[in-house]
Structure 1
Amino acid sequence: MLLLTLLSGVVDAVSLLGLGQVFVANMTGNLVLVGLTFAGAPGASPAGPLTALGGFVAGALLVRAVAPRHVNHRALVGMCALLESALFVVAVLTWSYDGGHEPALLPIALCAVALGAQNAAVRRLGVAGLTTTVMTSTLTGLVAGRAEERTASSTRRQALSVLTLVAGAALGAALVHLAGPRWALTMVAALAVAVAFTLLVPDWPSAGRGPAE
């Protein structure tokens, strides 16, 4: 879960700095950008935020449509991580953004689908204090949660989640600056593969055993 949080921070830094001032994980930010566009704010464009919102919703609906409620949640998040890595690779291969004013809509859509699926899968897990992208409620719970609801483990999870997202954003910004956004997004794909590995590999040996074993 913390790796997914790190991934979210990196990919939002890449999208914000390298895809035309848009978020692909933090939909709250995109809703604000859409509002700025409707208000006629200078330099605001609806294309990128609306594309990200549409892709995010599509990714979440995909998980809802194809993953039954009784599916193993650990396996579901692992499979979504594999899907994310594939979508990030395609986004790198189809990269067309040259730093101009128009956002790179196809990479934005692909990354947003990946993060929409991730959020839908993580929601199934229901781990308190670990949402991987939405930190407003996590930060509020950390500093203003009711005493009877707070435990040492939940406080630690919330603090680690916030710090990991910040670290991911810093890492993403550094990668964009040092290697360029395409290489930074390649790093995001590698992170997604690492998440899938940690979630799915431990289940493989037991899955291959017969009843006699």
Structure 2
Amino acid sequence: MTLLSAASGAVDALAFTALGHVFAGVMTGNLALLGIACGGDRFGDVAAPLIALAGYVAGTAAAARYCGPRPDGPGEGWPTRTLAVLAAEVVLLALNAVAWAVGGAPPTGAPRDVLLGVAAVAMGAQSGAMLGAGTAARPSTYLTGALTTFVSRAAAGAPQETGRWVPIRLGALAAGAGAAAALHRGAAPWAAALPPLLVAAGALTAARARRERGRTAAAAPQEA
């Protein structure tokens, strides 16, 4: 979850700085930007937030339909279909990275809109995959709710349960955004390569944990 949060921060940083000053994974922010564009008579600025919204909705819907109803319990970890969606996300982000590198600079015009749309689809798919994993996973693209719950429980003196990871995930999101921004500034053609690497690392870590749990469960009856 920490690696996926870092990937989300990296994608949003690149989307905001180079793909139209919108977010690929924070749709509440895009809705606010859309409202600002309309309320300020800057109707030419509505295209980017609309593209991001459409891509995110499409990615979330596709992932939710593929993953099916969320499991009731953590079971053996992330379901196979969740891992498959993350693998598809890696492919989408890798294609974006190749297109970005071939262009040699942040794109403009139609190519920029395409890259933004693909990034938003990838972030929507990641969010849908996490929902499909049920209680075995947590949100990785929108963390305002997680922050609110963490602060509220801390202020009330309630036990945090899994909430102790919230500050780590928030820090990872900020670190991913910072790393992507630094790459964009110092090595622009390679900046978009960071998100697919982070998602791949997160998916592989989850797959390894799933295999280890499976081996433990298989060995338990033999030991008994």
TM-score for the superposition, normalised by structure 1:
0.82
2:200 corresponding residue in structure 1: 193
Indicate how the Cα distance of structure 1 residues 204 and 163 shifts in structure 2: closer, same or farther if over 3 A, else same: closer
Judge conservation of contact 2:150–2:160 (CA < 8 Å) in 1. Answer: no
Specify the alignment match of 1:59 in structure 2: 59
- Assess if the C-alpha contact under 8 Å between 1:23 and 1:30 holds in 2: yes
2:127 paired with 1:119: yes
Query: What per-residue deviation string (whole Å, max 9, x for no partner) do you get for residues 38-81 of structure 1?
Result: 11355961111111110100011111222233787432332222
Identity of paired residues, percent? 31
- TM (normalized to structure 2)? 0.79
**What corresponds to 1:140 in structure 2?**
148
Which residue in 2 is equivalent to 1:18?
Answer: 18
Instruction: Name the structure 2 match of 1:85.
Output: 90
Gaps of 5+ in 2: 72-76, 216-221
Is the contact made by 1:12 and 1:169 (CA closer than 8 Å) also made in structure 2? yes
More helix by share: 2
Q: Structure 1 unaligned runs (5+)?
A: 208-212
Structural mapping, 1:1-213, within 5 Å:
1-40=1-40, 45-69=45-69, 73-95=78-100, 98=106, 104-127=112-135, 130-145=138-153, 147=156, 150-180=158-188, 182-201=189-208, 203=210
Distance 2:115 2:107 in 1: 13
Instruction: Label 1:128 to 1:40 Cα distance change in 2 as closer, same or farther (>3 A).
Output: farther
Change in CA separation of 1:24 and 1:99 when aligned onto 2, cut-off 3 Å: same
Q: What is the CA-CA distance between 1:100 and the residue it aligns to?
A: 5.1
Partners in 2 of 1:129 and 1:87 — Cα distance?
22
Aligned length: 207
Q: Check 1:98–1:6 CA distance in 2 against 1; reply closer, same or farther (3 A cut).
A: closer
Which residue does 1:210 correspond to in 2? none
Distance 1:197 1:12 in 2: 22
Aligned CA RMSD, in angstroms, stands at: 3.0
Instruction: Tell me the distance in 1 between the aligned counterparts of 2:31 and 2:13.
Output: 17
- Tell me what 2:74 maps to: none
Alignment-mate amino acid for residue 81 of structure 2: L
- More off after superposition, 98-107 vs 8-17: 98-107
Does structure 1 conserve the Cα–Cα contact (< 8 Å) formed by 2:60 and 2:127?
A: yes
Given that 1:10 and 1:188 are in contact with CA atoms closer than 8 Å, whether structure 2 keeps it comes out as yes
Residue 103 of structure 1, CA deviation: 7.8
Rounded to whole Å, the distance in 1 between the matches of 2:209 and 2:90 is: 19
